[in-house]
Amino acid sequence: MNCPSCLSVTTKQQSKKTSLGYRAFRCSVCHHTFNERTNTPRHMHSYQEALATAEESIRLAPHDPDNWLRKAEALKKLKRRKEARAIEAEATQLRKNKTC
Protein backbone atom coordinates (compact mmCIF):
# COMPACT_ATOMS: atom_id res chain seq x y z
CA MET A 1 0.00 0.00 0.00
CA ASN A 2 1.41 3.42 -0.95
CA CYS A 3 1.96 6.10 1.68
CA PRO A 4 -0.74 8.79 1.39
CA SER A 5 1.70 11.40 2.67
CA CYS A 6 4.82 10.94 0.49
CA LEU A 7 3.48 8.33 -2.00
CA SER A 8 6.34 5.96 -1.22
CA VAL A 9 5.80 2.27 -1.94
CA THR A 10 8.05 1.19 0.94
CA THR A 11 5.44 0.72 3.65
CA LYS A 12 5.13 -2.01 6.24
CA GLN A 13 2.01 -3.46 7.72
CA GLN A 14 1.91 -3.07 11.51
CA SER A 15 1.04 -5.97 13.78
CA LYS A 16 -1.75 -4.03 15.48
CA LYS A 17 -5.01 -3.10 13.80
CA THR A 18 -7.05 0.04 14.37
CA SER A 19 -9.84 0.09 16.94
CA LEU A 20 -12.27 -0.60 14.08
CA GLY A 21 -10.22 -3.53 12.79
CA TYR A 22 -8.51 -1.89 9.79
CA ARG A 23 -4.96 -2.88 8.88
CA ALA A 24 -2.39 -0.28 9.97
CA PHE A 25 0.72 0.66 7.99
CA ARG A 26 3.88 2.72 8.53
CA CYS A 27 5.92 4.41 5.82
CA SER A 28 9.62 3.55 5.83
CA VAL A 29 10.50 6.91 4.26
CA CYS A 30 8.49 9.59 6.11
CA HIS A 31 7.38 7.40 9.09
CA HIS A 32 3.74 8.41 8.58
CA THR A 33 1.25 5.92 10.02
CA PHE A 34 -2.05 5.27 8.27
CA ASN A 35 -4.61 2.55 7.73
CA GLU A 36 -6.23 0.92 4.73
CA ARG A 37 -9.16 3.33 4.91
CA THR A 38 -7.07 6.53 4.85
CA ASN A 39 -8.08 8.94 2.07
CA THR A 40 -10.81 6.68 0.71
CA PRO A 41 -14.10 8.32 -0.31
CA ARG A 42 -15.93 6.88 2.72
CA HIS A 43 -13.12 8.02 5.04
CA MET A 44 -13.28 11.60 3.78
CA HIS A 45 -17.10 11.53 3.76
CA SER A 46 -17.21 10.87 7.51
CA TYR A 47 -15.09 13.99 8.15
CA GLN A 48 -17.26 16.06 5.83
CA GLU A 49 -20.29 14.91 7.82
CA ALA A 50 -18.53 15.90 11.07
CA LEU A 51 -17.77 19.33 9.62
CA ALA A 52 -21.40 19.83 8.54
CA THR A 53 -22.60 18.82 12.02
CA ALA A 54 -20.18 21.23 13.69
CA GLU A 55 -21.25 24.07 11.39
CA GLU A 56 -24.90 23.40 12.27
CA SER A 57 -24.02 23.46 15.99
CA ILE A 58 -22.26 26.79 15.51
CA ARG A 59 -25.30 28.16 13.71
CA LEU A 60 -27.50 27.15 16.67
CA ALA A 61 -25.07 28.19 19.44
CA PRO A 62 -22.40 30.53 18.04
CA HIS A 63 -21.05 31.51 21.48
CA ASP A 64 -20.16 27.96 22.56
CA PRO A 65 -16.38 27.46 22.09
CA ASP A 66 -16.76 23.66 22.06
CA ASN A 67 -18.72 23.89 18.80
CA TRP A 68 -15.87 25.86 17.24
CA LEU A 69 -13.33 23.30 18.45
CA ARG A 70 -15.35 20.46 16.89
CA LYS A 71 -15.26 22.34 13.60
CA ALA A 72 -11.49 22.82 13.93
CA GLU A 73 -10.96 19.08 14.49
CA ALA A 74 -13.02 18.22 11.40
CA LEU A 75 -11.02 20.74 9.34
CA LYS A 76 -7.74 19.19 10.52
CA LYS A 77 -8.91 15.76 9.41
CA LEU A 78 -9.73 17.22 6.00
CA LYS A 79 -6.17 18.64 5.83
CA ARG A 80 -7.45 22.23 6.09
CA ARG A 81 -5.04 23.18 8.87
CA LYS A 82 -4.85 26.93 8.19
CA GLU A 83 -8.62 27.23 8.57
CA ALA A 84 -8.49 25.02 11.67
CA ARG A 85 -5.96 27.32 13.35
CA ALA A 86 -8.19 30.33 12.71
CA ILE A 87 -11.18 28.49 14.17
CA GLU A 88 -9.15 27.46 17.24
CA ALA A 89 -8.19 31.11 17.76
CA GLU A 90 -11.87 32.02 17.60
CA ALA A 91 -12.68 29.36 20.23
CA THR A 92 -9.90 30.67 22.49
CA GLN A 93 -11.27 34.19 22.18
CA LEU A 94 -14.77 32.98 23.01
CA ARG A 95 -13.46 31.19 26.13
CA LYS A 96 -11.68 34.37 27.26
CA ASN A 97 -14.82 36.45 26.73
CA LYS A 98 -16.92 33.87 28.55
CA THR A 99 -14.74 33.99 31.70
CA CYS A 100 -14.64 37.81 31.85
pLDDT tens digits, residue range 66-78? 999 999 988 888 7
Question: For residue 12, which of 30, 29, 28, 36 has the smallest C-alpha distance?
Answer: 28
Beta bridge partners of 11: 27
Residues 5, 31, 17: CA angle, nearest 5 degrees:
90
| Architecture of the domain made up of 41-99 | Alpha Horseshoe (1.25)
pLDDT tens, residue by residue, 6-63: 999 999 999 998 877 889 999 999 999 998 888 765 666 777 888 889 899 999 999 9
Please give the pLDDT value at position 75. 85
pTM exceeds 0.75, yes or no: no
Phi, psi of 21, deg, nearest 5 = 90, 10
